[in-house]
Amino acid sequence: MNRELNIQAGNGVSQKEKSDKWKSLLLNQNSILILFIVVLGVVVTIINPNFRNPRNIVNILQQISVLGIVSAGVAMLLISGNIDISVGSQISTIGVVMAMIVQKLGNIPLAVVAPILLGATIGVINGIVVVKSKVHSFIISLGFMVVYQGLALFLSHGTAYLMGGKLEFLGRGRIFGYLPVMVLVFFTVVALTHVILRYTKYGRILYAIGGNRTAAYVSGIRTERYIIIAYTVVGTLCGLAALILISQLGAAYPNTGTGYAMDTLAAVIVGGTLITGGKGSALGLLLGVVIFGMISNALNVLNVSAYLRDVVLGLIIISAVTIGRISTERQ
């Protein structure tokens, strides 16, 4: 009889564990995002079968590649509890410098290396100012957003710099005639982000700083150093994004990066990264960016007014933040 009671008790615990496991899965934001992507894909395909066309899928991936590259850096920075809304202006400035090198100097190797180095330098400057000023990173990055946008206008004199067909392979080239180079770069960056956040000391430190910066400092972590590194990563990825974006467009404009700041921040938040820090993942980042791309593409395929895009995305952001909050409180 005791044996039967033990078996029943064991079954009870097992059932409770299974129930908790399913509840955790249902409340997991990544699971919800995946379900949303599947449902959205099915609904739009039923309305317009062209949505599932392989060419359209590749087109969506191309549309989100630059956004995804920048989002990877912003996500890691947000996890550390900091923010940078100047990424769009950084892309504009770096893009203008890159195009000027191509047009005026004709030095292609320098035009490839310069955006990365300039982006890293901008990141270092941003990070140092944030940690040394002790002012909230949002305010500092807001100021830098204006600075870099003004710098882009000053350097370009408000006009476009043409690339003359140079470096097209980075923005328009395809591997094996099918996979766009920019998409390959995007997935590589996301994969590296996953490795960094999950398997490296640096990734664990970012979570620690974002979770409780004071506790991280007291435990011996040189928080200021790692925050500067996080900003450097953001700037470097902005340089890479500018390199690919300008190569795709074939010209640099002083407002090329306009819109990327808010879209990037929104995609990262939709992907489950807390704006207060301490939580986020590469998978969530990928899902958030994919959702942005799918919605924009679906509105085009369904011939819906482009003005509704921001309305839809805004509602999704509100829903994502709410779900993320609920998920955090239940854990």
More confident residue, 182 or 317: 182
Does residue 106 register a pLDDT over 90?
no
Do 79 and 206 contact (CB within 8 A), yes or no?
Answer: yes
Does residue 244 register a pLDDT over 60?
yes
More confident residue, 289 or 29: 289
Q: Rounded to an integer, what distance in angstroms lies between the CA atom of residue 258 and that of residue 88?
A: 5
Least reliable range by pLDDT among 15-19, 114-118, 142-146, 250-254: 15-19
Does residue 296 register a pLDDT over 60?
yes
- Average pLDDT on 15-24 reads 54
Q: How confident is the model at residue 303 (pLDDT cuts 50, 70, 90)?
A: confident
- Which tens digits make up the pLDDT trace of 118-146? 999 999 999 999 999 999 999 999 999 99
Which pTM does this prediction carry? 0.88
Query: Which of these, 320, 270, 319, 261, lies nearest to 293 by C-alpha position?
Result: 270
Do 260 and 87 contact (CB within 8 A), yes or no?
Answer: yes
Does residue 27 register a pLDDT over 70?
no
pLDDT for position 75: 95
Q: Which residue is listed with tokens 């990264």?
A: 273
- Which tens digits make up the pLDDT trace of 51-78? 888 888 888 999 999 999 999 999 999 9
Q: How confident is the model at residue 14 (pLDDT cuts 50, 70, 90)?
A: low
Q: How confident is the model at residue 152 (pLDDT cuts 50, 70, 90)?
A: very high
Q: Rounded to an integer, what distance in angstroms lies between the CA atom of residue 231 and that of residue 210?
A: 14
Do 237 and 190 contact (CB within 8 A), yes or no?
Answer: no
How many residues would you count in the chain?
331
- Average pLDDT on 141-155 reads 94
Average pLDDT, the chain: 86
Give the chain's domains with CATH numbers: 54-330 (1.10.3470)
- Which tens digits make up the pLDDT trace of 185-239? 999 999 999 999 999 999 999 999 999 999 999 999 999 999 999 999 999 999 9
